[in-house]
Structure 1
Amino acid sequence: MRLVRLAQQPSRVAEDVRAALASLGRGSTVVGGVALIGARPADERAVEAVIVMPKGVIIVIGVDLPDPALKLEAPLGGPWKADGWPLVHGDTSINPATDALSLSAACTHKIADVAPGAGPIGTIIAVGPYVETVDQPPSDLAGSVRVLYPTATTMLAATVSLATADRPRSVQQARELIAALAPDAPPMPEEMLLGEGFSAYSDEEPTIVRENPLVAIAPTVPVRHPGKAKRPAKPATPPAPPAKPVQPSAAPVKPVAPVRQAPLPVAAAAPAPAAQAPASASAESAPKAPHQSKTVKWLPLAAIGLLIVLLVAAITVASGGDDTASTQPPPPPTPATSSPPPSSSAVENIQFTSRASAADQKCASHAYGDVQASLQRTSCTTVKRASFASSIDGRAAAVTVAVVEFPDTALATAFKAAADTPGGGGILDLATETNQWQGDVPVFEGAAYQSSQDGNSVRLIQVVWVPGPSTPDDPGLVRGAKAALELPVNG
């Protein structure tokens, strides 16, 4: 799921909502969609989020409780209780979610107006500051409203249960809906929305448009084949061989045939007989047809003979090449010893072994947290990522490197400031994404972090122990992170 921050969220539990949505990751691997953080779909106060998903729309509204609770009884049409104590909100409210449900209804009507047939529209009432268990009656769970404390698990379960359309909405429909709900949202390219699970085509244009070009091409297929259809007519000339048994008196002529056949293989080397065969078959009389059929039979034999000569020559050359190669054993070891250096580098007495490297322009797709939001606002030109296995002070470590390039220095400086903010997110590790780690898969939590800027380019480094745990101020990890600033990353 992709996050787009539009405005400050109104409740205290909003930070937990944003963290839970960010934990779902990018793309459609889990649920997919675009979360509009701080949107105002009903032109009233901002909601925590409006999640436009391929198979539904979910409105997330925060409700702040007076204190944390272990158990919250939260019927939508009755009073709430926190650890057995009743909760009220205002003089006329049945429960703290009364106002939130009214706002949700207004948002639902607005979405239905701007996007008729938008699919299922659900509501999540996010309560906080902390609730261990939320007890919602089964009748409420059968509807389209969920009351929960926002965690990665509860948000995932709610989004899956509320977005239940039969078919995903198209990229164009998603763009129109996002533009109607959040006019200030940055435009999203088609590739980005396809990566979030939206369909490339709407329900109105399933296959008809695609089939028309094929129907136009189909008539051309038989038009090209009549030329080939004439080739079976050549076997029609071989019916002349049955004329042989009809002429028993022609048997003595067979000794003369080899005399005439002798020059024919020489003529077969020229391309003329292939072109003259149809003309001669139609112009000459029936007695000459047997000779032409014999030349046709000799053509493949001559070709096979030529191929045999070429094969013998090739084998002779190859065997000679093997002999010359065997007389010079030193050259092969040279390329063998020169291949490891591209995958292994040493910086400040620390050895780094490459595990994965790649480069593309999908900048925000490879980021998370505030770094992802920054790249969504001002996308980079290229992101190069690399993963290295290392050994620091005799202990195994993993290094992930990201080099992000921008059109100008000002954008690079702003991005580095966002990346350097603690808890601001970062760039995902390439080898973890592509399953290229050998042995234990590193977890980049508590990683030592370093960054540097060179003009329009920003380099981000994270280093952790394998296996962990790791701490950001570990001297060995910090030393490895500083050394990784000098690693070559080609992508």
Structure 2
Amino acid sequence: MRLVRLAQQPSRVAEDVRAALASLGRGSNVVGGVALIGASPVDGRPVEAVVVMPKGILIVIGVDLPDPALKLEAPLGGPWKADGWPLVHGDTSINPATDALSLSAACTHRIADIAPGAGPIGTIIAVGPYVETVDQPAADLAGSVRVLYPTATTMLAATVSLASAPSPRSVQQARELIAALAPDAPPMPEEMLLGEGFSAYSDDEPTVIRENPLVAIAPTVPVRHPGKRPTKSAVPPAPPAKPVKAAPPVQQAVAVKPPPPEAAPAEPGPKTSQQSKTVKWLPVAAIGLLIVLLIAAISVASSSDDTASTQAPPPPAPSTAPSTSPPPPSSAVESIQFTSRASAADQKCASHAYGDVQSSLQQTSCAGVKRASFAGSIDGRNAAVTVAVVDFPDAGQATAFKATADTPGGGGILDLATETGQWQGEVPVFEGAAYQSSVDGKSVRLVQVVWVPGPSTPDDPGLVRGAKAALELPVNG
């Protein structure tokens, strides 16, 4: 699941909501989707998140409790109790979630209006500051609302149970829905949405064309099978040729012409007979000559092979010319081994970014971006490294961009090998990555390092050491 921060969230439990959603990691290995943090679907009233998933939509609204609780009894249509004590929220509210449920209903109607047939729409009432156990009646659990304290486990269980459409929405549908719910959200590349589990085509589109466009331009010229005639033809078929006996190879190579009439000898009879004999003997002589040449060639080849097999080859002479075979794409920095997996460069900076970093690049004249992916070995443990070098026209723009990229939760640059499918084995997930950055004049370098397999944490000593080492890696587009 990918997080896009739009505005400040209204409740104290919002930090726990964001942390729980972030713990799901990017990509569709678990649930997938895009979480619009702080979105305001209705009348500018922000909610903790609107989560657009491939098979459903979740509205997450926070409810702050007065104190932590070990057990919360939370019926949707009745009073709540925290550790046996009743909880009220305002003079006219049945329970603290009354206003949240009203806002959820308004958001549900809004989504149904802008995206008819959007699939299941669920609601998560996130309570805090801390609740160990939430008790919901069975009748409420059969519906589309969950009350929970947001952790990775509870959020995962809720998303799986509430997003249950039979087929995923398409990339185009996801884009249109995100644009309607959050007009300020940066546009997302197709490869990013595909990675989050959205489909490349809609249910009403012919899948064969979207999956393989070459089918639409398949060749239509008929090919005649050897030995068979077509049933219809605009041109009458030619009669079959009579079989011709193949001549010996030598006779094909030697052509004997009779002498021209003006050069023909005057003597009749015997001379003509002798000339015919000479013509008949020519093929035989040619065959004999060919046999002699073949025997000579075989003898020379055999002699060369025997000589080569009996004599040891001389040692190669030293040469100062560079080797033609490329060196292995690996380098060692501070005793950490890095092996290149992918590298590329172009000028489409914003299309390779996400979050606030993408917004910054859309408003700045980026001169180009070089990206590279490396497999690393840190203290004997496998790691994955993604590096991006963004170039700007002047140093001031580079410094401002680095400040945006260094902001926690501000987004970043997409990993090249993940986009292009060039990882060998398990594909890394750059969630909880150790992060480093540097500025060199007009260029900003961003580095992220994670363990493969995870999990990873930003303050892991090994990952931090690997990220600092990766600041020195050569990146060639």
Query: What is the TM-score when the length of structure 1 is the normalising length?
Result: 0.68
What is the match of residue 299 of structure 1?
A: none
Q: Supply the AA of the counterpart residue of 1:373.
A: G
Distance 1:169 1:446 in 2: 30
Q: Secondary structure at the match of 1:417?
A: helix
Matched, 1:326 2:313: yes
What is the match of residue 472 of structure 2?
A: 486
1:9 Cα offset (Å) = 1.1
Q: 1:352 aligns with which of 336, 349, 355?
A: 336
1:489 Cα offset (Å) = 3.7
Q: 8 Å contact 1:6–1:37 — kept in the other structure?
A: yes
Q: What is the number of equivalent residue pairs in this alignment?
A: 419
What is the match of residue 38 of structure 1?
A: 38
What is the match of residue 452 of structure 1?
A: 438
Distance 1:331 1:325 in 2: 18
Matched, 1:375 2:363: no
What is the match of residue 200 of structure 1?
A: 200
Decide whether aligned partners of structure 1 residues 119 and 324 sit closer, same or farther in structure 2, where only a CA change above 3 A counts. Answer: farther
Distance 2:199 2:388 in 1: 32
Q: Supply the AA of the counterpart residue of 2:69.
A: A
Distance 1:478 1:213 in 2: 46
Q: 8 Å contact 1:357–1:490 — kept in the other structure?
A: no
Q: Secondary structure at the match of 1:50?
A: strand
What is the match of residue 373 of structure 2?
A: 385
What is the match of residue 330 of structure 2?
A: 343
Distance 2:196 2:148 in 1: 25
Q: Secondary structure at the match of 2:388?
A: strand
Distance 2:251 2:473 in 1: 70
Identity of aligned residues (%): 66
> After the TM superposition, which of the residue ranges 106-115 and 452-461 deviates more from structure 2?
452-461
Q: How does 1:167-316 map to 2 (within 5 A)?
A: 167-207=167-207, 217=218, 220-222=220-222, 224-225=223-224, 229=228, 261=248, 263-266=250-253
What is the match of residue 296 of structure 1?
A: none
Matched, 1:155 2:137: no
Distance 1:221 1:174 in 2: 40
Q: Secondary structure at the match of 1:326?
A: coil
What is the match of residue 253 of structure 1?
A: none
1:101 Cα offset (Å) = 0.6
Gaps of 5+ in 2: 231-236, 256-292
Q: Supply the AA of the counterpart residue of 1:353.
A: Q
Query: What is the TM-score when the length of structure 2 is the normalising length?
Result: 0.70
Decide whether aligned partners of structure 1 residues 238 and 148 sit closer, same or farther in structure 2, where only a CA change above 3 A counts. Answer: farther
Q: 8 Å contact 2:126–2:148 — kept in the other structure?
A: yes
1:340 Cα offset (Å) = 6.8
1:84 Cα offset (Å) = 1.6
Q: 8 Å contact 2:437–2:446 — kept in the other structure?
A: yes
What is the match of residue 399 of structure 2?
A: 413
1:146 Cα offset (Å) = 0.9
What is the match of residue 49 of structure 2?
A: 49
Decide whether aligned partners of structure 1 residues 61 and 322 sit closer, same or farther in structure 2, where only a CA change above 3 A counts. Answer: farther
1:103 Cα offset (Å) = 0.6
Aligned alpha-carbon RMSD (Å): 5.1
More helix by share: 1
1:147 Cα offset (Å) = 0.9
Q: 8 Å contact 1:388–1:400 — kept in the other structure?
A: yes
> After the TM superposition, which of the residue ranges 403-412 and 50-59 deviates more from structure 2?
403-412
Distance 1:102 1:83 in 2: 26
Q: 8 Å contact 2:55–2:164 — kept in the other structure?
A: yes
C-alpha distance after superposition, 1:461-483 (max 9, x if no partner):
57899999999597x99887655
1:378 Cα offset (Å) = 3.6
Decide whether aligned partners of structure 1 residues 208 and 310 sit closer, same or farther in structure 2, where only a CA change above 3 A counts. Answer: farther
Q: Supply the AA of the counterpart residue of 1:197.
A: G
Q: 8 Å contact 2:134–2:149 — kept in the other structure?
A: yes
Distance 2:466 2:340 in 1: 18
Distance 2:370 2:122 in 1: 38
Distance 1:413 1:317 in 2: 70
1:262 Cα offset (Å) = 6.9
Q: Supply the AA of the counterpart residue of 1:351.
A: S
Q: How does 1:93-172 map to 2 (within 5 A)?
A: 93-172=93-172
1:177 Cα offset (Å) = 1.4
Q: Supply the AA of the counterpart residue of 1:457.
A: S
1:144 Cα offset (Å) = 0.7
1:315 Cα offset (Å) = 9.8
Q: Supply the AA of the counterpart residue of 1:352.
A: I
Q: 8 Å contact 1:399–1:461 — kept in the other structure?
A: no
Q: 8 Å contact 1:398–1:442 — kept in the other structure?
A: no
Decide whether aligned partners of structure 1 residues 182 and 313 sit closer, same or farther in structure 2, where only a CA change above 3 A counts. Answer: farther
Q: 1:404 aligns with which of 369, 380, 389?
A: 389
Q: Secondary structure at the match of 1:164?
A: coil
Decide whether aligned partners of structure 1 residues 209 and 342 sit closer, same or farther in structure 2, where only a CA change above 3 A counts. Answer: closer
C-alpha distance after superposition, 1:173-232 (max 9, x if no partner):
2222122212222222323222222222222222486799858756x242x42787469x
Q: Secondary structure at the match of 2:472?
A: coil
1:95 Cα offset (Å) = 0.8
